[in-house]
Every structure is written in structure tokens, then in C-alpha cells.
Amino acid sequence: MTVIFSKKCELAVQAVLFLSIKEIKQVWTAEEISKEMMVPKEFVSKMLQILTDSGIVGSKKGKSGGFFLAKSPADIRLVDIVKAIDGMEVFETCVLGFPGCSSDNPCPVHDKWGKLRDDAFKMLSEETLEEFKEKTTKKIESLKS
Amino acid sequence: MTVIFSKKCELAVQAVLFLSIKEIKQVWTAEEISKEMMVPKEFVSKMLQILTDSGIVGSKKGKSGGFFLAKSPADIRLVDIVKAIDGMEVFETCVLGFPGCSSDNPCPVHDKWGKLRDDAFKMLSEETLEEFKEKTTKKIESLKS
DNA sequence: ATGCTTATTGACAATAATATGATTTTTAAA
DNA sequence: TTTAAAAATCATATTATTGTCAATAAGCAT
């Protein structure tokens, strides 16, 4: 089961976090990223291509090409990645799956879930990747062992 | 994309909420429930069978048979249904998909997500279906129009 | 007892999500 | 200018989820 975000989104977040702790504009190939994140190369490049289209990541074709962050980590928030890969649906749909859930016609947990959803949105949009750098470095370091 | 819970779980919750606002021990066939919830009959009976195994719902075969709540609504919490259908994984896994996420080896949002996850768990376990009755009735009424 | 109605069970089809592979295009370096 | 490396694109395979069907077993009413 997916935990809120799709596997695609999870991988995209991981790959961007990887890029965020490297020198800006330095390029990394899909293969290098795939090795460090331990996911298939093709999956990495597919996700990074989507993020390239949405301007978060940049790419350079040909020899000595690769992917790099198109913006400073201080200008990227996790929610940008979620938006690009999964869209905002997760923040809009009824958690119990009822049709037409709204404050006029709420499901039994509508109000409480609304608050949680807002908190989740905040979590993903308040901090930038810059502020995550230290934690990100530690986490990605730990993947190697 | 699944919004936290699987479709199976969503439907199971809806079906149990349906039963919770009816007279206790009164039986409803899978077909009746499926019509009111606007989902396929077979899907309803499959989910209710799982819930029968876990003791939340009771069933009666044969003519004038059907499904009914096996306990009082005051003894059922949404989390019981989630547990029976999807399991508790959603409350245990890293939201960003990192392996081995823990307080010793946290992902960048581990602490914040942990709090949110606890709140979600509380939301599903603090109140019983008894306390939802009024809201449930309104919501299910609204599905007919 | 008989037949109808219902849950139960297991198989299976359809769809969506995930993962992989092959080909093409672009680019830089030799 | 040739070659190799890399993204980009298109196609395919695999897996998981969701939804449907058919056969069976059980129980009620007549």
C-alpha cells in the first residue's frame, strides 16, 4: 500500500533530496543516482524527466551530461515535487472515500481530517530543501551501509 | 492514487457506517448495501466477509439473511476496520519511502510526520461509531439525492 | 422435503501502477 | 568528423489492485 504518496513520488523526492546536498549545478547521471538510492536507473530517469519539465531539475544530454538542480535548494519545497508527480488530489479528496465531501456535506471525520491535511500540507511547504540539508545528508549517508 | 486508505478499506468503512445507523441486529443484504453506497454488490460482500472474520460484522445465510453489526456501535472504532482491511502499515512506514526510518535514523520529515501520524491514529481510534451516528446519517442520506 | 434466497468461496478479468527494455536524439570529447 | 555517453522517447513486461463471475453451501419459508 502507498503511504499517501505513490512510489513514483517517493523516489522523486529521494532523488531531488540527493541532488540538494550536492554542489549546485554539478551533474549526476541517472545511473549514479540509481546506485545510491538503490532503485532502477530507468525509473530514476523517468521521474527526473518529469521534474525537468516542471523546472525543478535541469538536464544535460550527451557525454558528461546528467541531472542537476535547476534552482537553489532554498527555492524548492517538498510540495513542489508532490505537485509535479502526484498532483494535489491527495489534499482534496475525502479520506473515507465519500463522494462530494465538503463542509456543507461532511463525512464523519471531515473536520478533523481537514485539519490533519492542512498540517501535512504545511509540513511539505513550510521548509525548503536548504533547511533539510543536514538531515538529508545523514539519511543518505546511512543508505550506503 | 490511494489517499491513505485503499478503496477496499474506504468501502468497508462506508458499509460499516451504513450498518451503524440501522437498528442493531437488523440484517441487510449485500445488494441493499451496494445500492445505497453505489458500489458493486460483489465488492460489498467481499469486504463484509473480511469484517465478519474479524468479528466486527455478523452474517446470516439463507432466505432473510444478510449482514449486521456484531457489536454495538459504541464498541466499534474506525481504526478497527482499517486494521482488518489494510493493516497498520500506513501508520508505521516512512512517508518519503526511505528504508529504515526511525528516530535514530530519521528522514528529513520524520519527527513532523510522526506527530501527524499519531494525530491520524487518534482521529480513527478516539471516537466510536456511536458518536458518529448523527453525521453518518446525514452523509448517507445525502448519497441518495 | 423442496425450492428460493442468501452468504461463502475460489477463480478470473480488467485496470492501474510499477518496473524494465530498446531505440533515437543530442552533446561533448577525442 | 567520428565516437561514446547520456537524456529522451517509445514500447513492453510485470505486479498489485480492483472489480466481476460462477459454483457451492446454508438456511428459511412454504
- Rounded distance between C-alpha atoms, residue A138 and residue B8, angstroms: 37
- B65, B75 in Cβ contact below 8 A? no
Subunit contact A1:B6, Cβ cutoff 8 A: yes
- Complete domains list, chain A, with CATH: 7-144 (1.10.10.10)
Closest alpha carbon to A7 in B8, B98, B6, B63: B98
For residue B72, the one-letter residue type is S
**pLDDT interval class at A3 (50, 70, 90):** confident
Residue B3 (CA) to nucleotide D17 (C1'), in angstroms, measures 14
**pLDDT interval class at A55 (50, 70, 90):** very high
Nucleotides on chain D that have an atom closer than 7 A to a protein CB are 3-10, 17-22, 25-29
pLDDT at A30: 95
Closest alpha carbon to A4 in B26, B109, B139: B109
CA Rg, chain B, in Å? 17
Q: Which residues of B touch A120 (CB under 8 A)?
A: 116
Give chain A residues 50-109 with Cβ within 7 A of strand C: 60-65
Residue scoring higher pLDDT (B130 or A39): B130
What mean pLDDT value characterizes chain A? Answer: 93
Inform me whether the C-beta atom of residue A145 falls under 8 Å from chain B C-beta atoms: no
For residue B115, the one-letter residue type is K
pLDDT at B63: 92
Sign of the dihedral through C-alpha A28, A30, A32, A36: positive
pLDDT at A65: 95
What's the pTM? 0.92
Q: Where do we find the cell 481510534?
A: B125
Average confidence (pLDDT) over A113-129: 95
pLDDT at A24: 78
Measure in Å the smallest separation between the Cα of B60 and chain A Cα atoms: 27
Cβ contacts of B53 within 8 Å, gap of 6 or more: B84
Inform me whether the C-beta atom of residue B79 falls under 8 Å from chain A C-beta atoms: no
Mind listing the pLDDT tens digit for each residue in A59-96?
A: 999 999 999 999 999 999 999 999 999 999 889 999 99
- One digit per residue, pLDDT tens: chain B, 145 residues? 567 899 999 999 999 999 999 987 789 999 999 998 888 899 999 999 999 999 999 999 999 999 999 999 999 999 999 999 999 999 999 999 999 999 999 999 999 999 999 999 999 999 999 999 999 999 999 987 7
Residue B28 (CA) to nucleotide C5 (C1'), in angstroms, measures 13
pLDDT at B2: 63
